Amino acid sequence: MPLKKGPGTDELTTEQQRLQQGAIDFAQAKLGENMRERDYAEEFDRDGWNACAEFGVLGMPVPAEHGGLGLGLTDLIAVMEGLGYGTTDLGLLFSMHAHMWTNVIPILEFGTDEQRERYLPKLCGGDWIGANAASEPDAGSDIYGLRTKAEKRGDEYVLNGAKIYVSNAQVADVFVAYATVNPDLGALGITAFIVDRDTPGVSVSRKMEKMGLRTSPMGEVIFEDCVVPETQRLGREGRGVHAFECSMEWERGCILAGCLGAMQRQLERSVAHAQQRKQFGQAIGKFQAVSHRITDMKVRLDTCRPLVYRIGRLKDGGKSARTEAAIAKLHVSESFVTSSMDAMRVFGGYGYMVEQEIERELRDAMGGVFYSGTSDIQRNIIARAMGL
């Protein structure tokens, strides 16, 4: 079934529509095999990752000189929406987002020529997987209260500290990690580093089991007397906040693009079920309680799409999208949760059964209200932008 166009996609060029259809066909053919089993076993699809890299997704927004495709963000959003429609492996899509927005993009934006040359072609080509090590047991929403220390010794830094909730941790080759050169300086002490997985003193200590997005690995990362040369610092000392905020703007704006496709798929399944399932001698979709529930799913989706495509337009035009990204993140993540609950209600007892693969989408959707800053934090950003 083709992806039906919403208000956001109506504005796609013919070439972008072609890209999106290509992504749907690719995802339906190559991704999402044995999802039930892999969800249960928390199994990452490395073959799927490689196929996505070959398809070009991982390097789409990166200039060709660094191993990417040099396409615009709107192109990428169209592709991610297509992938989300074509596969139910939202964990794999989540891993790709974590890789792109919090690893590839800060290296592209803040890396030296040598760093870009060393990392980007391999990250865009799928040979290396990237991760972002920022959160700590005592620093979540208050991320600039992080305590991992970076002690300067000559032309090296010695990192010591523990990171949690690191997506892709077990499969990652490269971490963009945040540490402080002086906790007394607060945000002005935060410094970003590119840390290779095989650097002595780096260990991935614990697999963290999640409610949803289970095919995306997550773990704790420990830095213990981990020596990184100054050349691995990403950006200036004490300016790690810039790299982090840049990552968050891209991530908040785009990480839910795949969920647009998933919400469309969910809507189509709900309509089909409401037309086929009969109770009291008629299709359940004839009951207003059911049809209105599905109507709300449609309205939510049609208000989500333009918010995500707005980020594409703004970023492609070289503009900042900080507040708009927070708005997109807040609205799409909350809408996906509500629509996933509605889909379950439409399916009744079937929806609650694991084999129907309806309940997994609710579990996957819940992650969205926490990662990249919780909904409360997005509201704080939006409120501050209004001077509150």
Among candidate residues 220, 251, 324, 359, the one labeled active-site is 251
Instruction: Decide if residue 132 touches ligand FAD (CB under 6 A).
Output: yes
170-183 burial, b at 16+ Cβ within 10 Å, e below that, comes to bbbbbbbbbbbbbe
The candidate with the shortest Cα–Cα distance to 212, out of 167, 247, 254, 175, is 167
Counting every residue, how long is the chain?
388
134, 248, 326, 381: residue in contact with ligand FAD (rule CB under 6 A) = 134
41, 47, 54, 141: residue in contact with ligand FAD (rule CB under 6 A) = 141
Query: Please, which residue, 6 or 84, has the CB nearer to ligand FAD?
Result: 84
**Contact between 260 and 298 (Cβ < 8 Å):** no
Pairing outcome for strands 174-180 and 156-167: unpaired
Pairing outcome for strands 233-234 and 218-229: unpaired
Q: Output the CA torsion sign for 373, 248, 301, 1.
A: negative
The candidate with the shortest Cα–Cα distance to 326, out of 271, 278, 383, 284, is 383
Site residues for ligand FAD, window 206-265 (CB under 6 A)? Answer: 213
Query: Please, which residue, 78 or 259, has the CB nearer to ligand FAD?
Result: 259
Q: Select the span of 35-43, 230-238, 345-353, 375-383 touching ligand FAD (CB under 6 A).
A: 375-383
167, 232, 270, 339: residue in contact with ligand FAD (rule CB under 6 A) = 167
163: left (phi over 0), alpha (psi -120 to 50) or beta: beta
The candidate with the shortest Cα–Cα distance to 163, out of 238, 226, 250, 242, is 226
Nearest approach in angstroms of CB 125 to ligand FAD is: 21
Instruction: Decide if residue 380 touches ligand FAD (CB under 6 A).
Output: yes
Nearest approach in angstroms of CB 43 to ligand FAD is: 17
Query: Please, which residue, 141 or 205, has the CB nearer to ligand FAD?
Result: 141
Instruction: Decide if residue 205 touches ligand FAD (CB under 6 A).
Output: no
Catalytic residue numbers read 251
Site residues (vs ligand FAD, CB under 6 A)? 98, 132-135, 140-141, 165-167, 213, 367, 370-371, 373-374, 376-377, 380
